[in-house]
A and B are shown apart, each in its own frame.
Chain A
């Protein structure tokens, strides 16, 4: 798939994400002293400036977002269960998930996943 957005739209997206990402990164670095002074008596907790509730939510952002990106990219719903489960990308993705679990390595996951995909394309 290729984008059909014009170049200016792509640049607007790039710059908007860039600026907002910088704001996220800079947020507490910039505000730390102000926050600390206001709440006086700072504790020895390095994360003390983020409320526990917000931290709890942030904890679940990576698994939820990453899974929401991965699952639709490897699972294609077919009319039959067998049809859905025998998709080569789902099978290769399952093998790659095992590799990711064993090695926790991006390189190994890519290698095993692509190897499995190519093997399945030859076999199926």
Chain B
């Protein structure tokens, strides 16, 4: 069986990221045991939600017995960033069938989005020719780079870049499905580990550490740093609010502070 070149390229490119994904997934599994979830519920979260930060936040709030709407709303807010990924990657898959798009959507993560879009190259530009792009059924290669965004109807099979739709799909699946498999295995490893570790080790502290590892690079300029600092301080001050609403209050005030800081700089 001839495994498409781009599938292998995707798997190769995602391998280094496992260094960050595996501990993240293991922490989730351990934290799920701590929070009192059953193994099936924990794996259920990893399969149905498949989004690390939202899953960890869900555990924290379930453990604190936060109100159900607060738990759901918090996870959804954390995943709202995926609107940007969905919008940003959509042009590359515009001519895919609806069912295929649904499959791609299910696997959409920060890493799958970032690697794929970087690999495809900017819209309207010629990508460095993918070696596997000799697929005769795909008529998009002769496409002029400048006419792609306006009239897709002329070339129903062509995408915005010169890489073929099939190539793009194989690469995406190579990255995204690998991440999914590693995430599920890491969850199970954490569940096994979590039941065997004494509480005095303080492994629950790994949860805020993961969030910290994601937070620091997210504060990359004055407005985003303002959003983080204000959001955090307000959340501490509001920690006593019922239903764990302090989290949502802190996040909301933080977002507003970021917007104000941005306006202040202009």
Contact = CB atoms under 8 A, between A and B. Distances in A.
Q: Do A and B come from one complex?
A: yes
Interface of A: 1-5, 7, 9-18, 20-22, 24-33, 36, 41-47, 49-50, 54-75, 77, 89, 92-93, 96-97, 100-101, 104-110, 113-114, 117-118, 121
29 contacts: A3-B63, A4-B65, A13-B58, A17-B58, A21-B51, A21-B75, A21-B76, A22-B105, A33-B152, A44-B124, A50-B84, A58-B80, A59-B224, A61-B80, A63-B225, A63-B227, A64-B231, A65-B74, A65-B254, A66-B211, A66-B228, A69-B60, A72-B247, A73-B60, A93-B212, A96-B212, A104-B213, A107-B23, A121-B202
Nearest to A102: B216
Nearest to B51: A21
A64 B227 contact: yes
Interface string B231-252: 1111110010000001110111
Given A56-B259, A97-B212, A22 B106 contact: yes
A2 B35 contact: yes
Contacts of A42: 149-150
Interface string B51-87: 1011001101011110010011011111111111111
Contacts of B34: 1-2
Interface class of chain A by DSSP: helix
B212 A68 contact: no
Interface residues of B, number: 108
B19 interface: yes
Given A25-B108, A61-B77, A117-B205, A67 B89 contact: no
Contacts of B80: 24, 58, 61
Contacts of B210: 106, 109-110
B191 interface: no
A4 to B, nearest CB: 6
Given A29-B89, A89-B205, A92-B205, A60 B215 contact: no
Contact of B234 (A57, A68, A109): A68
A86 B262 CA distance: 34
B38 A70 contact: no
Query: Which one of B83, B85, B212 has the greatest number of beta carbons of chain A within 10 Å?
Result: B212
- Looking at A14, A33, A113, the one whose CB has the most chain B CB atoms below 10 A away is A14
A42 to B, nearest CB: 5
B76 A24 contact: yes
B37 interface: yes
User: What are the 10 tightest A-B residue pairs by CB atom distance, in nearest-first order?
Assistant: A64-B254, A18-B48, A2-B36, A60-B258, A71-B232, A67-B232, A68-B250, A64-B231, A63-B228, A32-B90
Contact of B259 (A3, A49, A57, A65): A57
A113 B215 contact: no
Interface string B29-46: 000001111100100110
B44 to A, nearest CB: 5
Contacts of B62: 3, 5, 10, 13
Nearest to B109: A25
A51 B236 CA distance: 32
B123 interface: yes
